[in-house]
Amino acid sequence: MTSLARLADAGFVTEAPTPAARAEAERAMIAKARRIAKIAAEHAADVDARSRFPQEAFDALKQERLLGIMVPAVQGGEEASLSTIAEICTALAQACASTGMIYAMHQIKASSLVVHCGDDPWHAGFMTRIAREQLLLASATTEGGGVGGDLRSSICGVIRDGDDFTLEKEGCLISYGAQADAILITSRRTPEAPPSDQVMSVLTKDQYRLERSHVWNTMGMRGTCSDNFSFAGRAPARQIIPTPFAEIAAQSMLPHAHLLWASVWYGIAAEAVARAEGFVRGEARKKPGSTPPGALRLAELLVRLQQFKGLIIAGLDRYERVRGDADELSSMGFVVAMNSIKVAASESVGEIVSQAFLICGIQGYRNDSPASLARLMRDALSAPIMINNDRILGNTSNLLAVYKHDPSLSR
Amino acid sequence: MKTKIREILKTTGKLPGDVAALADDADLYNAGLTSFGTVELMMALEEAFDVEFPDTMMNRRNFASIAAIANAIQAIQSENV
Ligand SMILES: Cc1cc2nc3c(=O)[nH]c(=O)nc-3n(C[C@H](O)[C@H](O)[C@H](O)COP(=O)(O)OP(=O)(O)OC[C@H]3O[C@@H](n4cnc5c(N)ncnc54)[C@H](O)[C@@H]3O)c2cc1C
């Protein structure tokens, strides 16, 4: 036994888990998520029909302690890798896309704290609370008054009042705003600051009032309960994240949002392919000895699904390799890559589900058949407008007067 | 080279303040350089110094100050000879 191990044994130092122990722990988290996905699947139709929060799945996620897994070990979390979290998003989304998307959005908010706030006493303490109390985090970046999906622009500003600040934001679309335990909200640094000089603040639900102005009655992603609210809050000024929001948006939100959204959409696509497979297997059994006509289309669909998977895996791999490298994270190449992943993934999911319709035919079109693709299609259609693809392509196009892509395969 | 960079900064990059008053190592982002301004600035620098910034150099740090820009351009020029 090494002397360090002996000290650890005696409880004097805690040794970092070995890579094998860490891998084992992450596999266990994914296994729990797969069990919870069964609960989500049971209630998915009701969540969709009534446009209600997937309470059963989130009770189980809290119970199994999967809400705090991104939080670093020093703050009492599991410090799970982004790949593990992405796998959980996929597993949940296969069962219920709204559940997967809420989980993804929660983890995207956690990433702002995990990446930028480790050294800040209030936010480090709050991360401890996320892990211990399994708090659910929501996001208020959208704003009425023409800001829409332009997350790097705010109208409202933080108003200092002694040691506190107040913030009022109109017309924000806040998914599961009514169910969240805390909201991370963007605004100008002061009411007089330029629209892009933004900060992000963390307010817990006892510190704000939400007034619902519009109910989320949409085609799909109905369980996200993304109602519009007017937000009015007051909290100690130390709850404002010290890192400028410009940096948070570029360095952690961009990769986390685009990779985890893509993982949710992949889950929808994978479920559509699973239903098409089930349909083709059924046909094959009806006429043994002949290949069903849909099988060729299914073979084609598996090609598309493989491409989609490769896209996300390469993106996760790139992020994990450079996560500590501020130069690489702030490079144009990284921004273009993460934007391209969002656009490609959001297009793929719709294309894959609609191709699956050709295979499942009327059974896919029905709402009440095991091969139904109806909810999946409605959920998939949210992807290109969840931050409009034209807006994202527009952002990339602004770089092209100087940008040259890196032709290497491995970067 | 820094003088030439400073001249370019006066007309491109849309910095709101007085460029002459900026120290060589002053943070240009704090001085109001936006990502759109950075693109404009890169274009003007490529033109003026007859260089091309490769993908690996187009990051925040290399355009964070007049001194950083000078270093970046020197690095490209020394690779080209
Ligand atoms: C399921 C779901 C959940 C969401 N949850 C949240 C949440 O929890 N919190 C939150 O803050 N937001 C949330 N959003 C909102 C999201 O962040 C975007 O704000 C929203 O998808 C964009 O809506 P929009 O089409 O009104 O706005 P915009 O992006 O402003 O688009 C409006 C129109 O402008 C056009 N356009 C394209 N490019 C540009 C450009 N460069 N400039 C101007 N206009 C352009 C587009 O064609 C589009 O039709 C959610 C969205 C979805 C779909």
The third-level CATH classification (topology) of the domain covering A138-239 is Butyryl-CoA Dehydrogenase, subunit A; domain 2 (2.40.110)
Cα–Cα distance between A249 and A253 in angstroms, integer?
Answer: 5
Give the pLDDT confidence score for residue A410 in this predicted structure.
80
Cα–Cα distance between A11 and A21 in angstroms, integer?
Answer: 18
Give the pLDDT confidence score for residue B13 in this predicted structure.
78
Cα–Cα distance between A22 and A25 in angstroms, integer?
Answer: 5
- Give the distance (Å) from ligand 1 centre to CA of residue A384: 10
Q: How sure is the predictor about A260, in pLDDT bands with cuts at 50, 70 and 90?
A: very high
Q: B56 and A406 in contact by Cβ < 8 A?
A: yes
- Would you call A333 an interface residue with chain B, using a CB distance cutoff of 8 Å? yes
Average pLDDT over residues A288-309: 96
ipTM of the complex as predicted: 0.86
pLDDT at A146 over 90: no
Interface residues from chain B to A (CB-CB < 8 Å): 34-36, 39-40, 42-43, 46, 52-56, 58-62
Helix (H) or strand (E) holding A186: strand A182-188
Helix (H) or strand (E) holding B7: helix B2-11
* Atom 38 of ligand 1: nearest residue by CA position: A391
- The model's pLDDT over A88-100, given as tens digits with 9 standing for 90+, comes to 999 999 999 999 9
Question: Which residues of chain A make contact with B40, given a CB cutoff of 8 A?
Answer: 401
Within 13 A of A21's CA, how many CA atoms are on the CB side? 6
Average pLDDT over residues A310-330: 94
Domains parsed from chain B with CATH numbers: 2-79 (1.10.1200.10)
Give the pLDDT confidence score for residue A235 in this predicted structure.
98
Q: Which residue matches tokens 């122990």?
A: A21
Pairing of strands A227-236, A164-174: antiparallel
> Under CATH, to which class is A245-400 assigned?
mainly alpha
Q: A402 and B46 in contact by Cβ < 8 A?
A: yes
Average pLDDT over residues B32-57: 90
Compare all CA atoms of chain A with the CA of B47 and give the residue at the minimum distance.
A402
Q: B59 and A402 in contact by Cβ < 8 A?
A: no
Q: Where are the domains of chain A?
A: 3-135, 138-239, 245-400
Q: Which two tokens stand for residue A126?
A: 């709050």
The third-level CATH classification (topology) of the domain covering A3-135 is Butyryl-Coa Dehydrogenase, subunit A; domain 1 (1.10.540)
- The model's pLDDT over A57-98, given as tens digits with 9 standing for 90+, comes to 999 999 999 999 999 999 999 999 999 999 999 999 999 999
Written as one string, the DSSP assignment of A51-116 is T---HHHHHHHHHTT-SSTTS-GGGTS----HHHHHHHHHHHHHH-HHHHHHHHHHHHHHHHHHHH
Average pLDDT over residues A369-383: 97
Say whether pTM exceeds 0.90: yes
Which position has the higher pLDDT, A123 or B20? A123
- Would you call A326 an interface residue with chain B, using a CB distance cutoff of 8 Å? yes
Q: Chain A closest CA to B80's CA: distance in Å? A: 17
Q: Residue A228 pairs with which residues in a beta bridge?
A: A173, A214
* Atom 2 of ligand 1: nearest residue by CA position: A386
* Atom 28 of ligand 1: nearest residue by CA position: A149
Average pLDDT over residues A264-279: 98
Alpha carbon A235 to its chain centroid, in Å, reads 26
Q: Which atom of ligand 1 is nearest to the CA of A141?
A: 11
